[in-house]
Structure 1
Amino acid sequence: MEEFDVVIVGGGHQGLVAATDLAEAGISTAVVEAAPEVGGAVRSAEVTEPGFVHDLYATNMNLFLGSPFFGRYGDELASGGLRFARSEAPYASAFHGGSSLRIASDEAATLAMWKEHSAADADGWMQLRRVFDGLVASYLPLYTSPQPSWTTLTFLRAVRRNRRSVPLGEFAATLLSSTRALGDRYFSTPEAKSLAAAWGMHLDFGPDIAGGAVFSLLEMYADMLNGMSVVEGGAGRLPEALAGLVRRRGGTVLTGVPVARVDTDSTGATGVTLADGRRLRARRGVVSTVVLPRLVGDLLADAAVPADMRAAADGYRFGPGTFMLHLALDGPVPWQDERLASCAYVHAGSYVDDMARTYQQSLARLLPDEPLLVVGQTSVVDPTRVPVQGRHLVWVQVRTVPGSIKGDAGGRIAGTSWSDVREPYADRVLDVLEGYAPGLKAVVRARAAFSPDDLQQQNCNLAGGDSVAGSHHLDQLLMLRPSLALSRYRTPIPRLYLAGAGTWPGAGVNAVSGVLAAETLLRDAGRRRPPGRGRRLRGTR
């Protein structure tokens, strides 16, 4: 039996972040990852043609670049060769007929775009910017702290102090609003309202779900201010670099070795047993980045799990699924509006009612007839992703789709198994995208489609193809993620800790929950956490 102070289950970025901080504090640590390589939902691969490096899941790295963790280790990561490519044309929304809205890091250019589109929307954009400015400085401490905590009161006090620039009622309405209500409050045209609503669909905030406005607000302005960044050469280079941090501090990173169970006795968690029969003892604790239902139902299946923990696992909800389509192209996307060619993200999905219909169709287990497409023009941001100059690759996230299928809202695709409808649905996605970029199909060299079933098979945290590893609705957020009793990264099983997207602050390459779980364990062990440095906000997902 091998012995360590801490064993971490899952080699996604949160597990590696936790391991780095623990190893930095002198805690002997082992990270165990079931997949052949580390990364979790931060991976890249050549899935279409050789030389085309696609990000398989997450691609926007703004949150990581703005994290306290990157503030501590960014220089070391850079010295090891980790680089980021940045776009100053972060996002846009495309509409049928060739019109679009385009947000640039040049604020003057963005405001000019708004004024050209609609004077009323330009005024709304500036008014909403004041809400963002009043919210963002006080929100970051909340985002990077355990919940519940005193930072919640600090956040509320900070909002109250800002009431001179933005009335308290306006803040409160924004915090609780749906994305539809946010758009209706500040914008006049359906295009501007669509731009706001599209960001909510990245999580599971359909246009009429309360609480979705905060995510959209932060994303709209943080991405404008910071641009949008991807990992140069592929997202998978980030977890590889994080694994290097762990190893240089004496930690162990094991890949291709699934954990069969978390071992417990009357004193608490004692280690893990691997699928090959090996046992790793953990003297100080086990940190699981596996979502709670999988942890309780599978890895703790033989343990005496306290009733409140089991109830939390039973009640944990996943959101609608995601369909991913990766394209290798002979040339750029032939957008009707050529100005979209430089944008990192293009939302193609028409208007708010269309997104609401798509969301409802997914909940009804119907294949949406015209889903929202998040079109990531990765090679525009990072030309190293393609083997030949002039060729391109595109990352298309289809939001939302059902995890299991009852029928087709379009009435044309037969079958209720994703293995049967994967390619026909990829055809539909291309048809939808062709409506915004006529001639696209003619430049597609190769494609690779991944259904919700594929996503779950590749990563157990993405249950039902939920790309954010659990609903982010208000009843499963803040101190309720994954439940009130488990929200501060401890469990009722002594020495068993939680991290990952199923804990606060949720999904995104944010490097937060891993740090907070490590800090919790270090406090319990009577050790000090590594020193921190400045905090910034560069995006929300």
Structure 2
Amino acid sequence: MSVHTSYDAIFIGTGHNALVTAAYLARAGWRVLLLEQQAHFGGWVCTEEATLPGFRHDLYASIIPLWLTSPIHAELGSELESFGLRFLKYPRPTGVAMADGKSAVLSMAMDENVKEFETLARGDGEAWTRILETFGKVAPAIGELFSSDMSTSRASELMREIFVSSTGAGPSPFASEFLMSSRELLERRFRSPVTRALLGSWPMHAGRGPDAAQSALWVPLICGTLQAVGAPIVAGGVAGLTDALVRMIEHHGGTLLAGRSVSRILVEGGQAVGVRTETGETFRAERAVVASTNPDQLYLKLLADTPAVPPDLRQQAENHRYGFGFVQLHLALSEPPRWNDQRLAEAGIVHLTPGIDAISRGVNEATRGLLPAEPTIGLDVPSLPDPSRAPEGCAVMRVQAAESPIVIRGDAAGEIDVGEGEWTTEVKRRFADRMLRIVARHVPNLLSSIKAMAIVSPAELAVSNPNAGPGAISSAPRSIAEYHLFRSNHHTAFEKLFQVGAATWPGPAVSGASGYILAQTLLSDRIE
């Protein structure tokens, strides 16, 4: 067993949140070491030629508007740009195409969106204005909350400011409006089913169906952000964000090692003091060990032989819940897609759905372990704003079904034999065919232009990242109250041991917020 030089902080895993924390610490003079079991850094913030040479696909995350609204972008943006990070934007952030042929788009101009919504139904434009006005009154507090350690008194103050009325009796106007389900909000405020579908598809990206409690919050949070900053992608592929963070860490003296799988966190006297790898290497940490893991990975694997772990904490880790899987089709196309509504050719993610009821039905079917008969499709074409993603005249397309069961119990349409319930090659192919038929209704040249296809299903998710658990894209979504009262605030059962990533506040999304919160905690006077 070899013992290496001690570091100030050691990171287990290099997801983008871990990279953010490490970048801040390295800039502050900490000696940081990041250990990654995979051959590449960045977790699911990666880009590969998954289909054919010259076709560059973002395999998981792609459009990242919340990064542009984060304090990280404000504080580190210029330096990251010097390390090669550059953003491009779609002409329009998003759109929707309905099964009956109706469609709509969202732009970055409020007056254009009001006009679009009023065209769909009289009063819908005014309703959108009122929603954003209500949200705007608490948006600064929400932004601060999403960048705050939920264990602090300041987080409690922000929670009261956002959710409690100024008199202290009852909910605030914001809470009354946005702690309902997104269906309730959309059906109360909008008349057009197209407007409802355009806005109501987006909470699915936060793991929340239209009937989930508090899913209404994500309508103005995500769609308002898209209107404000657009639909940004990273030039050359989302891996450019990973590469820039890695270069920044190395520039400030940090060390990153790939192909190093950590088997144990070393605990002495109630505090974390280092890690041991699968090959027996030991690395010592003087100030912090940071695990970019879910609670089950942390307490049931990395701390498996640590007797000081409280039994109730082990039980909670055993009960850790995962969300849906997803299916993504990465397509290499011989030509750009030609939409029935050509405005959609300029949009970022376009959702294809018959409406809110269909989204709800798909979520219900996936929850029961069924392949949705009509999955809600999210579709984007990164080669539109970034032609470098594909050879000249060609295109790359990502087609995703966000509500997909991890273990398949049947097919809601009764067409696909699911066998033993696994994502076999045949099941993936048949479900991909279903997804492509839906897209082809709106993009007539799709099927004839497909040169190659790569499929990412829950089976691939489970292999690609231990934080996927059985094949989920994230942990099960929680409410803000659950994060505040019960969930991980980056602290653990041991001193100098911290968590970072999608299992911690504020949950999944490429915003870097979890990494930012932990960095501020470690650099504050609260941690010595």
Normalised by the length of structure 2, the TM-score is: 0.94
Q: Secondary structure at the match of 1:378?
A: coil
Query: 1:381, CA displacement in angstroms?
Result: 2.1
Query: 1:120, CA displacement in angstroms?
Result: 2.2
Task: Report what 2:461 is aligned to.
Answer: 455
Task: Report what 2:178 is aligned to.
Answer: 175
Task: Report what 1:134 is aligned to.
Answer: 137
Q: Does 1:339 align with 2:343?
A: yes
Task: Report what 1:490 is aligned to.
Answer: 491
Task: Report what 2:381 is aligned to.
Answer: 377
2:107 to 104, 107, 116: 104
Query: 1:78, CA displacement in angstroms?
Result: 1.0
Q: Secondary structure at the match of 2:455?
A: strand
Query: 1:158, CA displacement in angstroms?
Result: 6.0
Query: 1:159, CA displacement in angstroms?
Result: 6.7
Task: Report what 2:422 is aligned to.
Answer: 417
Q: Secondary structure at the match of 2:470?
A: helix
Q: Secondary structure at the match of 2:495?
A: coil
Task: Report what 2:126 is aligned to.
Answer: 123
2:451 to 439, 442, 445: 445
- In the TM superposition, what are the counterparts of 1:327-366 in structure 2 within 5 Å? 327-366=331-370
- Asked if 2 retains the 8 angstrom alpha-carbon contact of 1:309 and 1:491, the reply is no
Query: 1:520, CA displacement in angstroms?
Result: 2.6
Separation of aligned partners in 2, 1:440 and 1:209:
34
Aligned residues: 518
Separation of aligned partners in 1, 2:436 and 2:195:
25
Q: Does 1:322 align with 2:322?
A: no
Separation of aligned partners in 2, 1:202 and 1:160:
27
> Which moved further from structure 2: 487-496 or 29-38?
487-496
2:157 to 137, 153, 161: 153
Coordinate RMSD, CA, aligned: 2.0
- Asked if 1 retains the 8 angstrom alpha-carbon contact of 2:40 and 2:258, the reply is yes
> Which moved further from structure 2: 442-451 or 144-153?
144-153
Q: Secondary structure at the match of 1:432?
A: helix
Q: Secondary structure at the match of 1:264?
A: strand
Task: Report what 1:5 is aligned to.
Answer: 8
1:473 to 455, 473, 478: 478
Q: Does 1:192 align with 2:195?
A: yes
What amino acid maps onto 1:322 in structure 2? F
Task: Report what 2:407 is aligned to.
Answer: 404
Separation of aligned partners in 2, 1:193 and 1:219:
14
Query: 1:171, CA displacement in angstroms?
Result: 1.3
Identity of aligned residues (%): 33
State the Cα deviation string for residues 132-165 of structure 1 (Å, max 9, x = none): 22231221111110114323323533677899xx
State the Cα deviation string for residues 234-268 of structure 1 (Å, max 9, x = none): 01111111011111111110112111221223332
- Asked if 2 retains the 8 angstrom alpha-carbon contact of 1:324 and 1:397, the reply is yes
Separation of aligned partners in 2, 1:323 and 1:54:
15
State the Cα deviation string for residues 64-122 of structure 1 (Å, max 9, x = none): 22221222221111112211101230001111232211001122222221222211212
- Asked if 1 retains the 8 angstrom alpha-carbon contact of 2:19 and 2:246, the reply is yes
Separation of aligned partners in 2, 1:13 and 1:131:
32
- Asked if 2 retains the 8 angstrom alpha-carbon contact of 1:323 and 1:465, the reply is no
> Which moved further from structure 2: 502-511 or 112-121?
112-121
5+ unaligned residues in a row in structure 2: which ranges?
none
2:292 to 269, 289, 294: 289
Task: Report what 2:216 is aligned to.
Answer: 213
1:427 to 430, 433, 442: 433
1:230 to 221, 233, 237: 233
State the Cα deviation string for residues 476-503 of structure 1 (Å, max 9, x = none): 84325xx44xx33111112111110100
- Asked if 2 retains the 8 angstrom alpha-carbon contact of 1:135 and 1:159, the reply is no
Query: 1:184, CA displacement in angstroms?
Result: 1.2
Cα distance change of structure 1 residues 526 and 417 upon mapping to structure 2, 3 Å threshold: closer
Separation of aligned partners in 2, 1:159 and 1:286:
35
Separation of aligned partners in 1, 2:269 and 2:162:
45
Separation of aligned partners in 2, 1:464 and 1:402:
11
Q: Secondary structure at the match of 1:346?
A: strand
Q: Secondary structure at the match of 2:196?
A: helix
What amino acid maps onto 1:453 in structure 2? A
Task: Report what 2:54 is aligned to.
Answer: 51
- Asked if 2 retains the 8 angstrom alpha-carbon contact of 1:211 and 1:473, the reply is no
> Which moved further from structure 2: 347-356 or 262-271?
262-271
Q: Secondary structure at the match of 1:40?
A: coil
- Asked if 2 retains the 8 angstrom alpha-carbon contact of 1:205 and 1:473, the reply is no
> Which moved further from structure 2: 307-316 or 427-436?
307-316
Separation of aligned partners in 1, 2:480 and 2:109:
37
Separation of aligned partners in 1, 2:397 and 2:166:
42
Query: 1:309, CA displacement in angstroms?
Result: 2.5
- Asked if 2 retains the 8 angstrom alpha-carbon contact of 1:182 and 1:196, the reply is no
What amino acid maps onto 1:26 in structure 2? G
Query: 1:223, CA displacement in angstroms?
Result: 0.3
Cα distance change of structure 1 residues 313 and 19 upon mapping to structure 2, 3 Å threshold: same
Cα distance change of structure 1 residues 147 and 439 upon mapping to structure 2, 3 Å threshold: same
- Asked if 1 retains the 8 angstrom alpha-carbon contact of 2:335 and 2:449, the reply is yes
Q: Secondary structure at the match of 1:41?
A: coil
Task: Report what 1:307 is aligned to.
Answer: 311
Normalised by the length of structure 1, the TM-score is: 0.92
Separation of aligned partners in 1, 2:175 and 2:68:
29
State the Cα deviation string for residues 196-248 of structure 1 (Å, max 9, x = none): 22111112211111011111221111101211100000011111110111111
Query: 1:519, CA displacement in angstroms?
Result: 2.9
Query: 1:449, CA displacement in angstroms?
Result: 0.4
Separation of aligned partners in 1, 2:164 and 2:281:
55
Q: Secondary structure at the match of 1:521?
A: helix
Separation of aligned partners in 1, 2:463 and 2:525:
35
Q: Secondary structure at the match of 1:303?
A: coil
- Asked if 2 retains the 8 angstrom alpha-carbon contact of 1:204 and 1:473, the reply is no
- In the TM superposition, what are the counterparts of 1:55-74 in structure 2 within 5 Å? 55-74=58-77
What amino acid maps onto 1:399 in structure 2? A
Query: 1:526, CA displacement in angstroms?
Result: 5.3
Q: Does 1:31 align with 2:34?
A: yes
5+ unaligned residues in a row in structure 1: which ranges?
528-541
Task: Report what 1:16 is aligned to.
Answer: 19
Query: 1:341, CA displacement in angstroms?
Result: 0.6
